[in-house]
Structure 1
Amino acid sequence: METSALEVVFLPAPKRVADMRRATVAFLLAVNAPEQTSDNVVLVVSELVTNAIRHACGKVSLRLSAGGDYVKVVVLAESRDRAVVTDAGPDDEAGRGMLLVDAVTDSWGCSTGETWCLFRYGAGPAGAVAA
């Protein structure tokens, strides 16, 4: 199975969120990812890149890969923080992003400065792609 990949490294700036969405759309078109998967990937990239820009102390990296029946997103940032799902209240203006990531991905995880997400499609066996 052939794998396609894209990596973009950039300095944190709010305008980079839109740039990374556009790069993600172009990548997903090139690998013929299904439309619903693509919509969810772009949404998650927007959230993770926004978080990375907000919390980064230096360069941010977006890595996309696709093969057969999956798309994987990895966002790396020079940061001391880990992404976490929080329980935002009804009046909170922020704090729902990782809940959204959890809802639309097949799996995700993080360590300090790195968050990855996996989107599966097709009829491949669950767990066939290493995180």
Structure 2
Amino acid sequence: MLPHDDLPENRDAVLEKAALQLDEYFAGTRREFDVPVHLIGTPFRTAVWERLTALEYGTLTTYGELGLSLGHPGYGRAIGGAVGANPVPIIIGCHRVLSSSGKITGYSGGEGIPTKLWLLEHEGITLAA
């Protein structure tokens, strides 16, 4: 039993919309999310997350490119930390970020790199781990 299992379920329109859109994404019929998301984090992290929202389905970027686009060249590790702290993975496509060499690095969701590989392949991108 998990904490709060004994409490009644409270339905929420935003969460229901998110669940529907995630189901559509996994079914291959959705490429964009329009769930309202309120991101709470440091100004640096929220800037990174906002930049991630511009990444389209099936496209890639690198930690370095993200840093450059935000005016922070050389901030690869900090960018990686912000990407890893993304509170709504998939909805904000942090799985679309690779190392500057094109290598697939960590992923905080699911089983880590295998999950990231699966998400990329789901979007039509095939890479080696």
Higher relative contact order, chain-length normalized (CA < 8 Å, sep 6+): 1
TM-score normalized by the length of structure 2: 0.29
In proportion to residue count, which structure has more strand?
A: 1
Which is greater in Rg?
A: 2
- Name the structure with the higher helix share: 2
